[in-house]
Structure 1
Amino acid sequence: MREKFNLLVFISLFGFSGSLLAQSSLVQFKETEFDFGRIPAGQEKLEHKFEFEVVQEGLQIDTITADCSCLGIYYSKEKLSKGTSSVITVAYIPYKAGGFEKSFKVKYKGQSASSELMLKGFIEPTNMSEKVQYPYEIGPLRFKSKKVRLGSVSDKGLLKKTVEFYNSQKDTLKFIKQPKTPKYIKVVLDETKLPPHSKSTMDIFLQPELVPELGAKEDSLHFYTNLEDGGEFVLPLSFNLTKYRSEDVGDKASSPKISVFNDEVDLGKIKVVDYYLVSIRVMNTGELPLVIEQVKAGRGCEVVSLEQKEIAPYSSININVKFWDQDQTGQQVRRITIVSNDPEAPEKVIEIKADLQ
């Protein structure tokens, strides 16, 4: 998922009483899902406390991860005694109107079991209506244009176009299988599950060297969703393929190509005690598998996890990095270097900036 929002997670000891609904052999959560309902636009932050009681003696929280691209985690590293109470306070920073569902996974040291938490709600839209922003209804979704126009394209290289769309349905829309496309087109969905009245994007990749002939093309992209009425729909696409006339620069398309959504990650003003966890999404926009050979962390940061070392064409992974505060304040910059088999960019440097308060 190419998510553009921040999630702050704070953990502190906190006493509470009451019946506990979600149970396991490690902890008992009073609830594992919370719905904010409809929220007025303009709020800077939403918070909710997930209360729990410790069942196993000496339980210690290891990590909390979320299904987003950037999050911060601050929590006590102390072992918790059996029978004591604690709370996980999740602060969600709204970034766009519409529905949202965000899940969190709590992992415990030395334990294979984990806990799943979820926040959801609906942020009221402001100003221009979604029907005005997305005037064309195609199947269950609304688009800014009635057709994807790629324009004039040469028969060399790789073309990428990002398309925005909006779920105007009352129900959550799920893409239940890969879109059906011509062999020279690939579609990468930012999200496969779209809450009601929310926006998302898809990346459309055109491999012109696989197009059988030059000239104007009219194609169709077929999508399949979980909706019974109108669940299958077709998105028209057009382009004009022309002959590549510059000097031969080699077949760069038939190689792995590393791509990141941001070379610079700016966390803004943050308060950090210990560290801030940043998740960086890395994508392979080439035609061959991209191999992450090494991720080098500079001073003040640490690589926590790499989902996998080999990335298939048009696929992506997350690299999770700890941004340590090192008892410093003010503007701080941390760097990581991704070493891969991309022949054009064997080393990709990512800068993570923050104004520590």
Structure 2
Amino acid sequence: MKKLAIIFWFYSACGLVAQDKIDLVFNETTHEFGSIDASERAVAVFSFVNVSANPVYIYHIEETYGCSIIYYSHRPVLVGATGTITVQYNHIGNYGEFAKSIYVKVSNGTDNRTLEFKLTGNILPPATNNKDKFVYRQDGLAFREKGVDMGAIIKGFVANKYFEVYNYSSKPIRLDFADVPNFMDIAVEGTHTIEPYKTAKIKVKYNSGKAKYLGKLTSNILLKINKKNEIKFPIKANIKEDFSSVSVADFQNKSEIRVTPDYINLGRIETGKQYKTKLKIENRGASPLKIHNIIVPVYTTYSKLKNNTLNSGQSVILELTIETDKINILNEKRYISIISNDFINPILDVYLQGWSTSSIFINKKY
């Protein structure tokens, strides 16, 4: 099952020739803000390259929630040129997790189509006192969340995010950091010593260009308290490939990922048993297919691919091992994500399915 497609190609219902179809390559169609403070601005920029045979233009945009300011390219976007759609989400008075959609109507003068774009994130509510604001507490320090979500970052870009730490103890606490990856800088603004009942602001600088992989990544850094106790603190990000320089020629000679089977049905599951299965990854396109990353659930392991770059017509086998005793009913991830340079499916998900007579797994998909 294909989770994300960021190329839209359309044919008119009237049997038009190939020159009348609309081909647009977007950097993303879903923008993840991650966690943001109620005082922060939430702005997403969707950029696209017109790889059609004709100019296209945006003639209408509508939203489902009425809380945004939207700017877009009003002039026709020529063949090979780039257009943008900028969305500023007004979240004042709205807190918690959100998922919003906007619908963009495009035309090439002959064919008209509607595209959907999504905004997701979590707005942290304001608080009148530190007890309500910093709800996660450990070893004298308190946090608003159990980690930091940087949201979506286009490969090569640098993202900055701040989070606050509160010292709820009666003694000063020195805060240091360990196990910080080379693509990330994390530092306390000001002194590393946090006085009793005071807060400190921490800056996270995330250089996605230095990150080895694409996709949803979690880096568990260590917060060292008084150089003794340690708190594991996850920092998450979703790094996406930059398609902004795609040309018409690139599109015409694109790579194309094909995975078989497109879902895995384990059938009846016996708890504690190990299951092995295989996926075939094939390049059906003209250009080399580069497999950037493979993300699996915690109960699944996979063998290293013999080749991460597949020329046209080549394939490789991905061997998977599923440990059923590690499956957690609270774990929402029920699919394997294969991240590649395919314009159409940069993130391709293969879903796992099965059932068990156990009360834990009955009628559950995983």
The reply to whether TM is greater than 0.5 is no
Which TM-score band (shorter chain)? 0.3 to 0.5
Question: Scaled by the length of structure 2, what TM-score is found?
Answer: 0.34
Question: Scaled by the length of structure 1, what TM-score is found?
Answer: 0.35
